[in-house]
Chain A
Amino acid sequence: DTAVSQTPKYLVTQMGNDKSIKCEQNLGHDTMYWYKQDSKKFLKIMFSYNNKELIINETVPNRFSPKSPDKAHLNLHINSLELGDSAVYFCASSQDVLAVQFFGPGTRLTVL
């Protein structure tokens, strides 16, 4: 299936741990994004990459580090996890920086 996919779907971990979330798109898109959706369903952009280059970097703690090994992949690494990091993280992609964004299924992160 052509889509934006994320792994894992669920992630439960302890405070202080380091974890990664992976995203892959097989739509041939040039631009990828990470969003965070909090418990009140508010969806906020964190990062955007275009052709492996960082183009949007919102005011996110530097414990969050995105990495784009190629145009089809955008991973999110989180160091020293905190309780407030618990949320659903969505990856998205678009044909280019101005095109419509397509979202992945989300990764539900719970920090205990």
Chain B
Amino acid sequence: QKEVEQDPGPLSVPEGAIVSLNCTYSNSAFQYFMWYRQYSRKGPELLMYTYSSGNKEDGRFTAQVDKSSKYISLFIRDSQPSDSATYLCAMRFGGATNKLIFGTGTLLAVQP
């Protein structure tokens, strides 16, 4: 079993839909949680960065962390075709380490 699980999709939604992307993890010591977006043949780019439990909003994107359930989510409101990409969750432990553990990514396609 991988430390971080993510449904690979593909997830296809119509333009304007609300998208929910999720990851579960097994190690309760993870403290920092990230979402990266990766377009085809490009490098991952950071979308959201959160510490511990709670919500964080940035424009159309909302990241949620539920440490009690070991579950994180990324919501995309008013999805656009330009949001079509692979979304990777990542997390790391607290302390002096920056080793990121990634999920396998969810491929999202937003249909115009």
Question: Which A residues lie at the B interface, using CB under 8 A?
Answer: 4, 31, 40-45, 48, 56, 90, 92, 94, 97-106, 108
> Which A-chain residue is minimally distant from B44 (CB atoms)?
A103
A-B Cβ contacts below 8 A, count: 55
Question: Which B residues lie at the A interface, using CB under 8 A?
Answer: 8, 34, 36, 38, 41-46, 49, 86, 88, 90, 96-100, 102, 104-105
Question: In the bound complex, what is the Cα–Cα distance between A102 and B45 (angstroms)?
Answer: 7
Interface-centre pick from B45, B86, B105 (highest chain A CB count, 10 A): B105
> Which A-chain residue is minimally distant from B49 (CB atoms)?
A100
Interface-centre pick from B43, B45, B49 (highest chain A CB count, 10 A): B43
Contacts of B49 in A (CB 8 A): 100
Q: Are A104 and B43 in contact (CB under 8 A)?
A: yes
> Which B-chain residue is minimally distant from A33 (CB atoms)?
B98
